Copies of this chain bind each other. A is one copy, B any other.
């Protein structure tokens, strides 16, 4: 596995792959890799000739009071893990390499961002749009892989690719979970022992809502209240939101007659955790988005 740190070097490597007519799968990450990332890399390896993964904790998508500084990092372990699942190139640029000058270009999204995480993280998705656009131009993948744990991010990238005609196929893959159901996340290491125990109820809360839908409940408010009640009873962290929206348009629904997302975010002391279920109109989990 090659580790590349400069944009010029990365672009040259991509040109070489293109000259060899190799199809490129791309997995952008912020590092501190877990089974969720590795699943994306494995799937990319299956579906493409070469896999490029990136590790970049993007300052542009963190708010001033967010956890940019304490976002966990372990480049050495990440390299081993990525190499083990067959990643061909690991692109690890510095912030100076990615943003040598203050950005003049600003990217924003009109819809899909004032809900869920976008509401409590103003500017977050503008930063995501910018860095993903830059990475897409540098790596020029045929397919790009994102985890559905960040389902709003997938919806945002979906709009980016469609609106701007990127010649890239978006693939969203399902959330990988711990044995007790907690969604794998790089931020889980920032939970206390007690919080870690409670955190399993985030998934169980969402499942309560799913069960209501499977039992025929059509009223979004009742489904949301079912989830909220479970969380309030079982979790000491502050609930940021519980929302039920159409997917990927992320608009309010009046009944469950389409693909929907049931999502929540909970603030613990040192970590804000998110989780969601992407469901079809029968309440069945959707396992691949593209």
Residue A105, interface by CB 8 Å: yes
Majority SS of interface residues in chain A? mixed
Chain A positions 113 through 147: 1 when the CB is less than 8 Å from some CB of chain B, otherwise 0: 00000000000000001100110011010000000
CB neighbors of B among A9-35 (8 A)? 11, 18-19, 21
Contact A160 B129 (CB under 8 A): no
The CB with the most chain B CB atoms within 10 A, among A11, A165, A166, is that of A165
Residue A163, interface by CB 8 Å: yes
Contact A164 B104 (CB under 8 A): no
Name A103's contact: one of B112, B163, B166 (CB within 8 Å): B163
Return A108 CB to nearest CB of chain B, in Å.
5
Contact A107 B105 (CB under 8 A): yes
| Given A18-B18, A21-B19, residue A104 in contact with residue B167 (CB < 8 A) | no
Name A164's contact: one of B18, B21, B134, B159 (CB within 8 Å): B134
Copy number in the complex reads 2
Return A167 CB to nearest CB of chain B, in Å.
6
Chain A positions 72 through 114: 1 when the CB is less than 8 Å from some CB of chain B, otherwise 0: 0000000000000000000000000000000111111111100
Residue A253, interface by CB 8 Å: no
A106: nearest chain-B partner, CB-CB: B108
Docked complex Cα distance between A133 and B21 (Å) = 24
Docked complex Cα distance between A103 and B110 (Å) = 8
Docked complex Cα distance between A110 and B130 (Å) = 14
Docked complex Cα distance between A86 and B19 (Å) = 26
| Residues in B whose Cβ lies below 8 Å from that of A106 | 107-110
Contact B159 A137 (CB under 8 A): no
Contact A163 B104 (CB under 8 A): yes
Docked complex Cα distance between A21 and B21 (Å) = 10
Docked complex Cα distance between A109 and B104 (Å) = 5
Residue A7, interface by CB 8 Å: yes
Docked complex Cα distance between A7 and B112 (Å) = 25
A-B contact pairs, 11 of them (CB 8 A): A7-B165, A104-B163, A105-B107, A105-B108, A105-B109, A105-B160, A107-B107, A130-B164, A134-B164, A137-B165, A138-B165
Which residue numbers of A lie inside 8 Å of B, CB to CB? 7, 11, 18-19, 21, 103-112, 129-130, 133-134, 137-138, 140, 159-160, 163-167
